[in-house]
Chains A and B, each alone.
Chain A
Amino acid sequence: MSLTQPVPVPAAVTTKLSVEHVGMIFERDGKSTHVLNDINLEVDTGEFVCLLGPSGCGKTTLLNAMAGFLSPTSGEIKVNGEVVRKPDPRRIFVFQERGVFPWLTVEGNIGFGLSKLARAERDERIAHYVKMVGLEGFEKTYPQELSGGMKQRLEVARALAVNPDMLLLDEPFGALDSITRLIMRKELLRIWDAERKTIAFVTHDIDEAVQLADRVVVMSARPATIQQIVNIDIAHPRDISSPRYLELRDGIFRQIGLAHKV
């Protein structure tokens, strides 16, 4: 896929995340499963990257390794040049909606990572992110009384509140209905535009990847390798019926080996 026009990028492009020759083999019950094979990837500061691949291909494993929850069997993952060895509040992992704490209110969840701040600053930060994700009026509400989309926004707010440099999102909208999912994508792009975090976003939805990402990393089935990295050279907001959008999307469909006729 050739670049016809340059993607607008910040003035000084620096590498935020680099994945170097990462391999992952799981040993379980005497059987070893080869999950990741020689993955190499560089993500720039402020870039939005989607990891796309079939279910069970290991893209979530790669995201977990980026977060520091798993260490690769071979190779290294570096953030700002430092090797990732454990989880860190500078890169927050966002799970599907199950990740919010049901014993805390909306406020309590957003303030969870802020216990070191002074009270006033903490309250201000909470109020800011409550507003950003549109949960005003629900500050004292417990998650079980929220809809799936609201829970997901709450989890994004909890992640943003600690001011991380990176967000690692693991199919965050996978459990939502298709209309809420579209709204959430728009919301995420709005937030990304406001905060310019580096984002790695795992999905198996090709449309989602092409709508959101600067670059789509297409992964193969297990053991996962990077098949191709596709630049999405369309400015936001993206017209999802434009020829360029359809061309890029269909290219990825072909790459994954799916005919786009049902």
Chain B
Amino acid sequence: MNSLSKPRKWEPFFWPILASALLLVLWHYSVVWSGTRVFPSPREVVKGIGELARHHVLWRDIVDSLRRVAAGFGTAVILGVPLGLTLGWYPAANQVVNPVMQALRPISPIAWIPVAIIFFGVGDRAAMFLIFLGAFFPIVLACISGVSNVPSVFRRAGRNFGLTPPQLLAKVLLPAALPQILIGLRIALGIAWLVVVAAEMIAVDSGLGYLVIDSRNSGKRYDLVVAAILMIGVIGLALDLAFRRLEKLRSVRWGFRFES
């Protein structure tokens, strides 16, 4: 098959499914051949997922994790996008704020856990704060670079048609920067999901991260540990795929390359 020939309809689904199936087979036989008593086989994990679902814990944990991501990520979007647009719009302000932001950005949100607990106590809000921290900086930086990369032709055209500065921001700079902002939001959402699981291992008593730790602590149930890990991966994938659909909206499509 050369790269120009059009893939048949079943191919985009078939090959990834085959690869996943092969991986499961490899996993299964690794467990069998090594004779491990600790690490579960795929079949045990599936049984574990069933058990969790029957006891209604799985659903509640998923909802709790998603709720925390929604709150933390949502707050980061609401605060980060306007801040990023403003800083992109006023390079002078950006120069003032940039060193502080570059210093805070590489700190893992996990390092903030003790601080979060002091501020918010052990519980939901501490976890949400950590997610917020993780998502906030990538969003701000994507908005800054999005706005400052808008070609001057677009700005000049906007001014030529008599737009006031707020109109210019809303009708030219925001739509022109939107593809880049969406990429930043997608990366931030991935980080938010990464952080929620980590935060739940320490700061709360529900959610998928808590499920991982709890299953290990209460009786070394590694089938449930791996079941929770699998759910984390699948939901992360689903979030990313859902977000990618936004990139296909017609008003931002021009900013992305799609394999045609």
Q: List residues of chain A with CB under 8 Å of any chain B CB.
A: 67, 69, 86-89, 92-93, 95, 98-99, 101-104, 112-113, 142-144, 162
Contact = CB atoms under 8 A, between A and B. Distances in A.
Nearest to A67: B160
Interface residues of B, number: 20
25 contacts: A67-B160, A69-B156, A87-B156, A87-B162, A88-B160, A88-B162, A89-B160, A92-B160, A93-B157, A93-B160, A95-B153, A95-B156, A99-B153, A99-B154, A99-B157, A101-B154, A101-B175, A101-B176, A102-B254, A102-B255, A103-B178, A103-B254, A104-B251, A113-B162, A162-B161
A103 B160 contact: no
Contacts, number: 52
Contacts of B251: 103-104
Given A89-B160, A93-B156, A103 B176 contact: yes
B135 interface: no
Interface of B: 151, 153-154, 156-157, 159-162, 171-172, 175-176, 178, 250-255
Nearest to A108: B251
Contacts of B250: 142
B154 to A, nearest CB: 7
Q: In this complex, which of B161, B251, B253, B254 has the most chain A Cβ atoms within 10 angstroms of its Cβ?
A: B161
Given A95-B156, A103-B175, A113-B162, 19 more contacts: A86-B159, A87-B160, A88-B160, A89-B160, A89-B161, A89-B162, A92-B160, A92-B161, A98-B151, A101-B157, A101-B175, A102-B255, A103-B251, A104-B251, A112-B161, A112-B171, A142-B250, A142-B254, A143-B254
Contacts of A89: 160-162
B244 to A, nearest CB: 18
Nearest to B154: A101
Nearest to B161: A113
A192 to B, nearest CB: 19
Given A95-B153, A142-B250, A142-B254, A101 B172 contact: yes
A232 to B, nearest CB: 28
Q: In this complex, which of B157, B160, B253, B254 has the most chain A Cβ atoms within 10 angstroms of its Cβ?
A: B160
Given A101-B175, A103-B254, A142-B250, A87 B159 contact: yes
